[in-house]
Amino acid sequence: MRTLVTVLLAVTLALSGCTLLTGNKPTPTPSTTAPPPETTTPEVTTTPVTTTPSTTTTTTPPTPTGIASSEYALSLGGVPPLIESGVAFNFTLFANGTTQRTSDNIGALYGAATTSDPTTTAYQNACVTRSGTVPGSFLVNCTITKAGDAFLRGHFVAGGTDFWSPEAKIVVRAPVGAFTVTSPNATGAAPAGTNDPELIPPAQAGQPYTLVLNVTGTGTESASNITLRVGASSQVGEIGSSTSIACNHQTGTLPGEFTVTCNFPSSGLTTATYTVYGHVEVVVGPIVHKFESPGYTLRVLPASPV
């Protein structure tokens, strides 16, 4: 009977979810939950700190390689279009800009061919250079020794940059030859006891006076002024400098023969004797070549009575 009661009780407890405890301990059910992972703290290695002494760094600015070519504008003034080979001439170089700089190479260069891209190779010949401060104006002296066309540009160097003016063309011709001026009208030696030069026919006050000049020499030249230079006796003066004598001026091709006419006023002459020089000028660019005859003694007779 006791056993039956025990069995019923066990069934009842089993239906209600309970476990009957008997004298034997229940067998534990293994847990299926994984234990939490172990946390491992990494070992810290301490590195000694080395202190670097503080230093000061100096920055050097870059060296400029040049100046913009547009910083200065160059131009030329007074360049002659025609010169003689071997004869010095000059002109003015204008360097315009706003920044002052010094240059030890201010002048001009020239070459035998024109070019729109100036270089020191294209313009390989130099005029006289000088030092100075730009901007400014500078007188440039130059001599071109070879006849033909020359192409010239004003030039200076500053900060490693070449600055150029526009190009100017110059025609270079052979030098003017030597010419001699004489008068075939000369009549002979001056009166004895005087220092006057050779006589020429006398003039008469109030009347036109003519004198023939012969010009001889080598080469052919165009004379721009053929006339007489008249001064007081034994004086060298400009034409009409001491009197109101007026002589005509003419042009012509040398060599050749030319007749010059002068007018002596009927009154007011300061002396009765003058020294007269045949005078010829040949102009080449800025250079005036003057050729003169020996001085001739010219006596002026009184005006004829009316």
Which band of pLDDT confidence, cut at 50, 70 and 90, is reported for residue 24?
very low
DSSP state at residue 239: T
pLDDT in the model for residue 43: 54
Report whether pLDDT(152) > 50.
yes
| Boundaries of every domain in the chain | 69-173, 179-301
To the question of pTM greater than 0.85 for the whole model, the response is no
Over residues 161-189, the pLDDT tens digits come to: 999 999 999 999 999 999 999 999 987 76
**Res. 277: pLDDT tops 80:** yes
Question: pLDDT digits over 53-99, tens only?
Answer: 554 454 444 434 568 888 999 999 999 999 999 999 999 999 999 99
Name the percent of the chain lying above pLDDT 90: 53
Distance between CA atoms of residues 47 and 304, nearest Å: 134
CB 76 within 8 A of CB 92: yes
Task: Provide CATH code, domain 69-173.
Answer: 2.60.40.2550
Q: Give yes or no on whether 69-173 and 179-301 have one common fold.
A: yes
Fold of 179-301: Immunoglobulin-like (2.60.40)
Kindly list the distances between the CA atom of residue 213 and the CA atoms of 5, 149, 216, 237, in Å, as whole numbers in the listed order: 183, 35, 10, 19
